[in-house]
Structure 1
Amino acid sequence: MKTFLCVIGFVMIAFVSTANAQDRKPLETLKEWRGDNPNEGLAKDSSKFITNAKDLEKLWKAWDIKEKLPEIDFAKEILLVETTRGSRLNLKASLDEKGDLQPLGLATRDLRPGFRYVMITVNKAGVKTIAGKAITPVN
């Protein structure tokens, strides 16, 4: 009987997860930046999303990214940021019917010194919140 109830529980969880995933549409990645940094402490205080050029420049300098600071039209795009201590990291995003943008970072479980990062831009149209948090207006 316990086994039967466990199986039913897993089926219900799978059903709910599938239903939630079906309510979201994947967003196209417009631009992407990847890299690593030897100072893993820098990753702890980073924002998961950036909505203005000033915050992007601050992050770019803090992480000492050698690549030229990109120009992003924050009136039309949002920058999502994800970090990991694993050796590989991918980042995607989806949007639900209520306008909640949900970033999804997938990383390997092998821990390495420092951290790896991925930053992507996605279209801002229809986005009202990011992972349930309100977006600050572009300055």
Structure 2
Amino acid sequence: MRTALLALLLLGITWSSAVAEDKTLEPLMTFSGSVEDAELLGKFSTAISTPQEFEELWKAWKLAGETPKVDFEKALVVVQTTSGSRLRVTVRLTDEGDLKVLGLATRDLRPGFRYVIVSVARDGVKTVEGKPLAAAKAAPPESKEEAK
């Protein structure tokens, strides 16, 4: 009995040390708030890798002030949104270089949407949610012409 228990314990220790853990990335900058126009929801990427795209989002959402300066050679910006009243975001990097953006939102729906925009170090990032960085762009919403 002791031998079997010891064997299971050793197996568990070996297995848990072999399982890779994602690295939680600390935000370089974080912005959060609300946007009244729900029509803007889903029109931008989860991952933004150029200053032009970041400025486009900032202006479209009518966020206060100038677009923050981000060194896109060293960092990238990730965006999460929700129709709930609150949103928390965690960004993790797998050993394979896949950036995972995890949003935890409340289920109480409100008009417009809430957002969290986080800038993180780009070092080691190869993909975002399994897609190459350039292809991490969200699919554009279906146009009314295509819906006919």
Q: Normalising by the residue count of structure 1, what TM-score does the alignment of the two structures yield? A: 0.80
Q: Which runs of 5+ in 2 are unaligned?
A: 1-15, 135-148
The residue correspondences of 1:57-72 to structure 2 (distance < 5 A) are: 57-72=55-70
Moved over 3 A (4+): none
Given the alignment, which residue of 79, 93, 96 partners 1:98? 96
Cα RMSD (Å): 1.9
Q: Match of 1:74, SS?
A: coil
Tell me how far apart the structure 2 counterparts of residues 117 and 25 of structure 1 sit (CA, whole Å).
Answer: 23
- The answer to whether the 8 A contact 2:89-2:104 is kept is yes
Unaligned runs of 5+ in 1: 1-17
Normalising by structure 2, we get a TM-score of 0.75
* Residues 76-95 of structure 1: per-residue CA shift (max 9 Å, x gap): 00100011010001111111
Q: Does 1:76 pair with 2:74?
A: yes
| 8 A Cα contact 2:20 2:95, kept in partner | no
Residue identity (%)? 43
Secondary structure of the 1:78 match is strand
**2:116 matched to which residue of 1?**
118
Secondary structure of the residue that 2:66 maps to in structure 1?
coil
Larger Rg: 2
**C-alpha offsets along residues 14-33 of structure 1, whole Å, 9 cap, x if unaligned?**
xxxx99x9521111111000
Q: Deviations over 1:82-126 (max 9, x none)?
A: 110100011111111110010101110000001000000111101
Partner SS, residue 41 of structure 2: helix
Instruction: Provide the residue aligned with 1:39 in structure 2.
Output: 37
